Structure 1
């Protein structure tokens, strides 16, 4: 194993693990803000209890996300010093703004929110959690500015072997950013919705504060459906932009070796042979690729072989074909996971409208719990497709991956850091899972499930033996 492979492996593991927490933090902040808004508007204590319950899970996720983000940054100085030197002038401003503005905003007001329940007025306290949500979204925006530059470099000039920013506005108005950012945010909404949906279904099935969790089940269902349609529309825009800026990635994601024909069909399944540069089998949906690319059922897409010849003329001799199998299947895994999530949300809405939540079965409950993983799978496979499909470039058209690694770092040193970071991530993952399960089992009242049922202001047992606490 060489340095380039190990450095890429470490980047993949640290980025994927960190990105498990980012979308969940964004969406959970929104869920907590919605629940606290309902508490402030209605004055019902049950919404306050729910806001605190989901807030605890948000805080756990947020804390682990910070740790994984710090570890991720270490590798840029260790393994990617040549890359850092090349893009440092461009990345410096947006990443500094992210740290000083967005992260400062979300962390400061999160602290105020945690300790301000009995010290601030309801409306001021509510404002704090909404600012936390806004801060998480702004943080994603500035980080995606950097990633968008890697996909479609703009607003720079190369001097003395370094990319130097000469147009800050061009970075902010980068077309890649404005198709990537909505896709990320809507994907985050689906992630949090699936988490709340699954946990709420489990609580309803177990008859633990069941009526209380019906409200979060419905909120999760609605936000999940909004997230799905937002992901679909923004993904469509992203595909159309990809045809213009990174046609090789589009061709690889379709395992399209020669020209597509007109209209272009979309390969649902393909048996890919990269050595022969052909597919031994294809299951094709006619015209769909043209629609994805041009919003009409006509139009031709360039193939990998033609693009390889064009890239050779532009950039010189070399292999410009990304790993086709990985790009192709990661794209389809993303779509499949998204569609399964949609089916769960749609069926959940049906159950709510038909008032069948009291009779949830084991199969649906287990499906809802499994559904928690689906947006994470979709997010991960989507990023794999985005980053692998850009190869062999670190910065598209400017810097190759093989030229980006640290020249003085050995394979053994990188392997040691890979093992160390993976071990730390495994520990963090176990700790987080333990804390999540502990908080979820206790429920919104921090008691044993049996005791909590009796105190549920929505439950039948409470209505018979006590008074409602909806003041």
Structure 2
């Protein structure tokens, strides 16, 4: 198989596996802040039990996320040496900022979050929880900034020629606030919060189905439902804004996302379909002029299609981009529907009346994962054939010394290791969920909402 294809498959596999965990860390971080804040505000034992349970889940996810993220840094040097040289100044600045401003903050307070519950005061512990959450958010900022620069380069100049060419920063803040970075950061943040909140929603739905820890599962389910409702609706507007940025700066990607081929014509929006790249035609269920309306606010405005670009400058896998994009949208719509349905049933006091619906919520943990993965693949495959849009082609970014056999061998090893890690993760996660929140008091005290007799709370003046 071609070295370029193998290198892309390997990186897609490693980053796809890694990307399961950082979004969960961000989303769970917010849920920890909310739950611990409620505990400090009310003193109710159910919130203490909930937050201490989810801290254990957070620690597991954080550890696997760190382990799986290290490999990608080595891949830049082994498989993508020309690319690493070309963007080294840009990526070096962004990744250094992540280490200094984000990872140090997150890891510095992580020990207090995990081990400091009865060793520091409640306000200090809550502050540490907030810092860990903010650290995970800042970490996402610098990773997305680096990737967004590949999509919409800014604040640089090129030094050298040919294989010796490389991009150097001329304006750091122009590089950070490149045309797509802010919208993409908001899009990633929101998707990550949905991933963590749906995990909490799913686990508590499972507890309700099996009538376990009901006194904790009911309020925690409601809290996570509110979070997913707010952020699923927010994602609708943020995603629309991100698509507008793509339309302006990466029209070939937008055309591939909707299978639009005509050079300049009214563009339809497909609900579902299939792209016949050879015939340059898309078949499926569509809204006539829908893409024109979403992009320009008019059903009659022409949209640039794939025929406006040279064949070698178009995304090579148009149907894949189309399918991943529509899978992301479908997952997002499903999240909005489930969240609004839950709120409506809550308002009618029937939220927990339907076991089939609780099963749906238990399985809904997959929706944000599907949306995040599909969105990432849409962004990266839609940028092709460029690794840095309009500047460096993917085929030119490879290491010259690496061979297909070497990539295949390392891919097999990574696959084995990741299968082991994922199996271990599922085993430990299931064991923690089966064990459930630890009971820090009697059943009567928990059900009555009394707080744990904790002298730290009284000492620091935290009132119920």
| Structure-2-length-normalised TM-score | 0.93
The answer to whether the 8 A contact 2:260-2:306 is kept is yes
1:428-439 → structure 2 map (5 Å cutoff):
428-439=421-432
Secondary structure at 1:284 match in 2: strand
- Summarize the alignment of residues 254-269 of structure 1 with structure 2, pairs less than 5 Å apart: 254-259=258-263, 261-262=265-266, 264-269=267-272
Counterparts in 2 of 1:250 and 1:122: CA distance versus 1, 3 Å: same
Residue by residue, what CA displacement relative to the aligned partner does 1:347-399 show, whole Å, maximum 9, x if unpaired? 222333333345341x2222112211011001001111100001000000111
2:340 counterpart residue number: 346
For the pair 1:413 / 2:417, whether they are aligned, the reply is no
* Deviation string, structure 1 residues 79-106 (Cα, Å, up to 9, x no partner): 1111001100111111001012200100
| Gap change, CA 1:230 and 1:205, over 3 Å in 2 | same
CA displacement, residues 37-58 of structure 1 (integer Å, 9 cap, x when unaligned)? 1111112222111101011111
Cα distance between partner residues in 2 of 1:307 and 1:299: 19
Match of 2:278 in 1: 275
C-alpha contact (below 8 Å) 2:56/2:114 kept by paired residues: no
In the alignment, does 2:142 pair up with 1:142? yes
Partner of 1:261: helix, strand, or coil?
A: strand
Distance 1:357 1:205 in 2: 13
1:383 maps to 2:371: no
Query: Of the candidates 166, 170, 174, which is equivalent to residue 162 of structure 1?
Result: 166
Q: Once the 2 structures are TM-superposed, how far is the Cα of residue 455 of structure 1 from its aligned partner? A: 2.6
What CA distance in whole angstroms lies between the structure 1 residues aligned with 2:174 and 2:260?
32
Give the alignment's TM-score, normalised by structure 1: 0.91
Conservation of the 8 A alpha-carbon contact between 2:255 and 2:305: yes
Structure 1: 5+ residue stretches without partners: 310-317
Aligned to 2:225: 221
> Shift of residue 468 of structure 1?
4.8
SS of the residue aligned with 1:301?
A: strand
Deviations 1:286-330 (A, max 9, x none): 232122212344421011011237xxxxxxxx3533311001111
Aligned pairs (5 A) from 1:324-403: 324-361=318-355, 363-403=356-396
How far the C-alpha of 1:345 sits from its partner, in A, is: 1.7
Which blocks of at least 5 consecutive residues in structure 2 are unaligned? 454-464
- The answer on whether the counterparts of 1:194 and 1:375 sit within 8 Å (CA) in structure 2 is yes
Pick one of 302, 305, 308 that aligns with 1:303: 305
Match of 2:87 in 1: 87
* Alignment of 1:179 onto 2:183: yes
2-structure distance, mates of 1:303, 1:397: 17
Contact 1:268/1:282 (<8 A) preserved = yes
Count of matched residue pairs:
449
Check conservation: 1:46, 1:470, Cα contact below 8 A.
no
CA distance in 2 between partners of 1:140 and 1:45 (Å): 33
**Equivalences for 1:306-325 in 2 at 5 Å?**
306-308=308-310, 318-325=312-319
